[in-house]
């Protein structure tokens, strides 16, 4: 290992620490895919334009193709493989499945990671470009379809599953509804 071209990093991925030596040029995306066999995270453009590689780094949405692996040292990373807990799908995943929020499925891991973060960002009161009242004391704006679409717009879906994805995010945001209510929805 040549220290001028590679370094040892520890990546905390989905609650598990991985220590590995990486080429300094290696992106977080390639480290996940090529080194750790975590291929759920997809490479759509490798330029930060499509969102397919979206993961959560310290809880925030990140396009992993634009993050070098060495810059993710000691960070907490959540990939699509870590969204479900104990074999039970996350409400976002379940809603995508039930409402057909995907077609080819290639953008789906990024859409799901993004959606999980959108719900957290919204609950924390973060405004978006379409939020009417952006004062901190205003609290979370209503999670309208327009809010969801705006907040999800960094994730392209060429199959055109956007309407189902927006519905799925809305459904996942309302976990309090009972199954009976779901059935008539």
Partner 1 sequence: MTTAPTAGRTTRAGAVGTAHTRVEGRDKVTGAARYAADLPFADLAHGHLVLSTVARGRIRSVRTADVLDMPGVLTVLHHGNAPRLDTDYVGMLGVPPDPTAAVFQHDRIPHAGWPVALVVAETPEQAREAAEALVVTYERQPHDTAFHAGRPDAYPADGHMPAVTEKGDLEAELAACAHVVDEEYTTPEEHHAMMEPHAATARWDGGRLEVVDSNQGTTWVADDLVRMFSLEPSAVRVRSEHVGGGFGSKGLRAHQVSAVMAATALRRPVRVVLTRRQMFSLTGYRSPTAQRVRLGADADGRLRALEHRSLNQTSTVWEFVEPGAGPARVMYDADAHRTANEVVRLDVPSPTWMRAPGEAPGSFALEAALDELAERCGVDPIELRLRNEPGRGPVSGLPFAGHNLAACFREGARRFGWADRDPRPGVRREGRLLLGTGTAAASFPAGAMPSTAAVTAQADGTFTVRIAAADIGTGARTALTLVAADALRVAPERVRVRIGDSDFGPAMIAGGSAGTRSWSWAVTAAAEELRDRLVPGAAVPPEGITVRSDTTAAIGALTPKERHSFGAQFAEVAVDVTTGEVRVRRMLGVFAAGRIVNPLTARSQLVGGMTWGISMALHEEAVRDRASGGLYGADLAGYHVATHADVPAIEADWVDDPDPDDPVGVKGLGEVGIVGAAAAVANAVWHATGVRHRSLPIRPDRVLRAGGPRV
Binding stretches for partner 1 (CB under 8 A): 23, 25-26, 30, 33-34, 37-47, 49-50, 52, 79-81, 83-84, 89, 93-94, 96-98, 100, 102-109, 112, 145, 148-150, 152-166
Nearest distance in Å: CB 45, partner 1: 4
Q: Which is nearer to partner 1, 137 or 172 (CB)?
A: 172
Nearer to partner 1, 66 or 135 (CB): 66
| H or E element in which residue 130 lies | none
Tell me the three state secondary structure of residue 152.
Answer: coil
Which residue, 73 or 81, is less far from partner 1 as judged by CB? 81
Report CA-CA distances (Å) from 64 to 48, 61, 110, 111, 146.
Answer: 8, 9, 10, 13, 26
Here the tokens at position 121 are 């960002």
- Tokens standing for 88? 């039970």
Q: How far is the CB of 61 from partner 1 (least distance, A)?
A: 14
User: In the complex with partner 1, which residue's Cβ is closer, 33 or 137?
Assistant: 33
Instruction: Please give the sequence-ordered ranges of beta strands (E in DSSP) within the chain, or none if there are none.
Output: 6-13, 16-23, 54-57, 60-63, 76-78
Q: How far is the CB of 173 from partner 1 (least distance, A)?
A: 15
């Amino acid at each position: 290992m040549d220290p001028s071209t590679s370094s040892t990093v520890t990546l905390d991925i989905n609650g598990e620490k991985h220590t590995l030596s990486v080429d300094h040029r290696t992106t977080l995306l390639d480290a996940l895919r090529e080194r750790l066999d975590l291929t759920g995270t997809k490479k759509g453009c490798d330029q930060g334009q499509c969102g397919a590689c979206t993961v959560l780094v310290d809880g925030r949405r990140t396009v992993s193709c634009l993050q070098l692996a060495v810059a993710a040292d000691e960070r907490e990373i959540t990939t699509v493989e870590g969204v479900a807990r104990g074999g039970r799908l996350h409400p976002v995943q379940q809603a995508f499945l039930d409402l057909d929020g995907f077609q080819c499925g290639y953008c789906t891991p990024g859409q799901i990671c993004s959606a999980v973060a959108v719900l957290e960002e919204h609950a924390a009161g973060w405004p978006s470009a379409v939020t009417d009242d952006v004062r901190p004391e205003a609290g979370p704006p209503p999670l309208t379809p327009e809010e969801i679409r705006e907040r999800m717009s960094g994730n392209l879906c060429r199959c055109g599953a956007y309407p189902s994805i927006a519905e799925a995010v809305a459904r996942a945001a309302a976990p309090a509804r009972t199954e009976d209510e779901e059935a008539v929805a």
